[in-house]
Amino acid sequence: MSRRNSPRTRSFCKDLSFALPHSIKINRGKMSLNDLHLISLQNKCDRVLIVSTAKGNPRSITFYYVDEKELIQINPRLYIVGVKLMFETLNVKRIKPSDIVICSSEELLQPAIILSKLLNCRVVSDADVKFLSNTISIVSLSSVEDGYYNISFTNSLGDIIGPTMRVKFI
């Protein structure tokens, strides 16, 4: 697989870096996982996300935990079926969030817990969202069909602050 990403994937990564608090975006290019590990240690990161590309679109996100010695892959990966970028959406706000939470209904609690482990954040109920600050990134998880989920990034006012994607855990 080529490490030269398409403009759409680069735009997706940029949108994702705006939606995730304290995140930095690095074009991997020819960097190995060891190089990424060193950069993540220098920047005091606790997670590394690698977005792969297929047919010009973002295809999957692989999550890594930053250990002192190496990057440790966290399963499952997110398989991206479709994505809607920020420039394709109306009423988008670009903010740099201070924190991140996952908002989910009771029926989707299990996938929300899996996503919270991947993103290293907490899960809150739908009722608790109105009490959050509008500088917090809220990851909304909704079910589309069997095994597929919509993930969107908003603030507590409902403003879109990141990409919307349809994913499957693999």
**Predicted confidence (pLDDT) at residue 1 exceeds the cutoff of 60:** no
pTM: 0.90
- pLDDT of 36-77, one tens digit each? 999 999 999 999 999 999 999 999 999 999 999 999 999 999
**Strands 99-104 vs 136-145: parallel, antiparallel or unpaired:** parallel
CATH of range 7-78; options 3.40.190.10, 3.40.50.10480, 3.30.160.270, 3.30.70.120: 3.40.50.10480
Lowest mean pLDDT across 46-55, 101-110, 129-138, 150-159: 129-138
- CATH 3.40.50.10480 domain range(s) in the chain: 7-78
